[in-house]
Structure 1
Amino acid sequence: MTASPYSPGLDRATAALCALLGSPEDLRLPGVREAAERARDLLRSGADADELAACYRELDTALRRNGDARGLVGESRGATAPGITPHIKVAVCPGAHSCARIERARDLLPAPYCAVHGTRMRKSRLSSAQ
């Protein structure tokens, strides 16, 4: 039997684990610290995806058993992990006949200026078509 490679589907659970390990109050729940540390150790050792998924299920069960309805991959926990963004913001052409220009759009900065249409580009989410 060969080991399953790491699965990209586990990324969200890994981000949630990172946030959970940074939350001392959640780690005080019975059985949660042990399961979280076991998952962390599996990640560090390069365990296969099946073993890691089983450990994440065990951690999710421990959290829910202790009254945390979010489990491991709840919206508020997974979304707070540093560096995780659900979408990529870009600036796109503001005109009715858009060109293919796409620029990175940062949250706190205005969109770049469009010299063709004489206005700022509009911010949007990057789609698979772009």
Structure 2
Amino acid sequence: MTASSDFPQADHRATAALCVLLGSPDNLRQPGVREAAERARDRLRSGADAGELATCYRALDTALRQAGDARGLVNESRGWTAPGVAPHIKVAVCPGPAQCPRVERARDLLPAPHCAVNGTRMHKGRLGSAQ
């Protein structure tokens, strides 16, 4: 059996990895993994202290490794983002045919800024490599 990794007091990566794990039913089919994952989730929801969470994460990591998942709980190959979701920066860009290079940060709860060139609101989108 591969040794279980140590989890810092408040490991946000482990929490994110738990979220990804709970979202993938195939990984929860191994014996002991679902129970350990649900126990960690329940402890997290109940507001358990960091030490108790670290203990749950260690138990889940061990269950994953015993089930044959050499990645354990926290590993870059597991990815701690949901599949198909990549980090991005939301921006407001010029919407019209006469596009200016103006790019502004787009805040989720606020409407996009006004585009003075086209006389309409700018469109929200993702910052691309060309911008």
Q: SS where residue 81 of structure 2 aligns?
A: coil
Matched, 1:79 2:62: no
Instruction: Show the counterpart of 2:48.
Output: 47
Question: 2:56 and 2:19 mapped to 1: Cα distance?
Answer: 14
How far 1:44 moved relative to its partner? Answer: 0.5
**What are the residue-to-residue correspondences of 1:9-28 with 2, within 5 Å?**
9-28=10-29
CA contact (8 A) 1:43 1:52 kept: yes
Following TM superposition, the consecutive aligned residue runs of length 4 or more in structure 1 with deviations greater than 6 angstroms are none
SS of alignment partner, residue 78 of structure 2: helix
Letter in 1 for 2:38: E
Contact 1:17 1:72 in 2 (8 A): yes
1:53-87 CA-to-partner distances (Å, cap 9, x unmatched) read 000000000000011010001212233337785xx
- 1:78–1:109 Cα change, 3 Å: closer
Q: Structure 1 regions of 5+ residues with no counterpart?
A: 1-6, 90-102, 112-130
Seq. identity, %: 70
Partner Cα distance (1:34, 1:57) in 2: 13
Unpaired runs of 5+ in structure 2? 1-8, 90-103, 106-125
After superposition, what is the alpha-carbon deviation per residue over 1:10-69, rounded to whole angstroms, capped at 9, x for unaligned? 100000000000111110000000000000000100000000000000000000001101
Q: 1:32 to 1:84 in 2, by over 3 A?
A: farther
8 Å CA contact 1:20–1:27 kept in 2: the answer is yes
* Counterpart in the other structure of 1:108: 128
Asked whether the 8 Å contact 1:32–1:62 carries over to 2, the reply is: yes
Rounded Cα–Cα distance in structure 2 between residues aligned with 1:84 and 1:42: 28
Secondary structure in 2 aligned to 1:72?
coil
